Amino acid sequence: MMRRALAVTALTSTLALAAAAAAQDSPDPIKLTLHDWTGQLITTTIMGEVLKEAGNNVEYVQADYLAQFAGLKTGDLDVAMEIWETTGREAMDEATATGQVENLGETGMQAIEEWWYPSYMTDKCPGLPAWEALLEDECAEAFSTPETAPDGRYLGGPVTWGGFDEERIEALDLPFQVIHAGTDAALFAELESAYQRKAPILLWIYAPHWAPIKYEGEWIEFPPYEPACYTDPSWGVNPDMTHDCGKPRGPIWKVAWSGVKDKWPGAYAAIQNFTLSNDEMGEMIAKVDLEGGTVDAVVAEWMDANKDRWSGWIGK
């Protein structure tokens, strides 16, 4: 009987060890995508450094914001830490519907991405922030530049960000032209220059970010977004075209290749646990963009100050 008991105990222990080994994360690198704006670099680097603390092998891969879903579907890319409700929801929903990509929940940050103007432009364009004010010739001229006159100039984000600005201009018959900034840094450098000179500017501003905190201004109030606005031409003020509304607002999401939960179960749980606030992110972006800090230095400072918090994400 003793031998049988010992044999059963040994077998139970062996099975337990095998189950534990099966649940361990793969030694293969988890590929986290990097994009072209400071906040996303910070979010992704925090997650990557936390996963390293858990013993994971991490690889950062530069990828296009929307085109990355092709790689996430195949497992060539593993995790994307910022999919904005404002611009990425359609691509995310298409990818998750295939079953090859999984939504891992909200990051805790709430997204706004919309047309924004500095308050000093109000006198030159009466009626703001209502979008109808942009229809007036005097308003378009107030925001015009030699390259767009007599149309107004709207400074959009990099083309890879999406956002349907051209479609909106056409649907609402706005006398404006979209000029895309080449980079996130160029977008805000132009805002800084214009603001100091009190020069006309209408541009894409997003939150969480330091810009709407540092500068006094307003977002344009377009017709409120509803999903039908992007799919049903009969919805909205233009019965013949879609996109005659503002951009959606809402959470910033985390997504992953559907194989992550089986290949890296510990990392999978940690990514689900990850959360940051808008205020935290705005402060960190400001340290990089305004104070000259590096992403790595700002992330290291956050890690030092929040050890108990991120340790909970990885169950330590």
- How far is the C-alpha of 306 from the C-alpha of 290, rounded, in Å? 23
* pLDDT tens profile 121-155: 999 999 999 999 999 999 999 999 999 999 999 99
Domain assignment of residue 18, yes or no:
no
- Tell me the C-alpha to C-alpha distance, in Å, between residue 131 and each of 106, 121, 145, 151, 245: 30, 14, 20, 15, 10
Domain assignment of residue 273, yes or no:
yes
Number of H helices, E strands in the chain: 14, 9
The answer to pTM > 0.75 is: yes
The answer to whether residues 117 and 105 belong to one domain is: no
pLDDT, position 23: 60
Q: Indicate the number of domains in the chain.
A: 2
Q: What is the CATH number of the domain that holds 260?
A: 3.40.190.10
The answer to whether residues 152 and 212 belong to one domain is: yes
* pLDDT tens profile 212-268: 989 999 999 999 999 999 999 999 999 999 999 999 999 999 999 999 999 999 999
User: If you search the block for the tokens 């108990």, which residue do you land on?
Assistant: 308
Taking alpha carbons only, the member of 314, 284, 275 closest to residue 302 is 284
The answer to whether residues 60 and 120 belong to one domain is: no
Domain of residue 178: give its range: 112-231
Q: What is the CATH number of the domain that holds 214?
A: 3.40.190.100
- How far is the C-alpha of 273 from the C-alpha of 309, rounded, in Å? 10
pLDDT, position 19: 36
Position 109, amino acid: M
Tell me whether residue 132 is exposed, middle or buried, using C-beta atoms within 10 angstroms of its C-beta: 0 to 12, 13 to 18, 19 or more: middle
- Structural contact between residues 232 and 242, judged by C-beta atoms closer than 8 angstroms: yes
The two structure tokens encoding residue 75: 């497992």
* pLDDT tens profile 85-128: 988 999 999 999 999 999 999 999 999 999 999 999 999 999 99
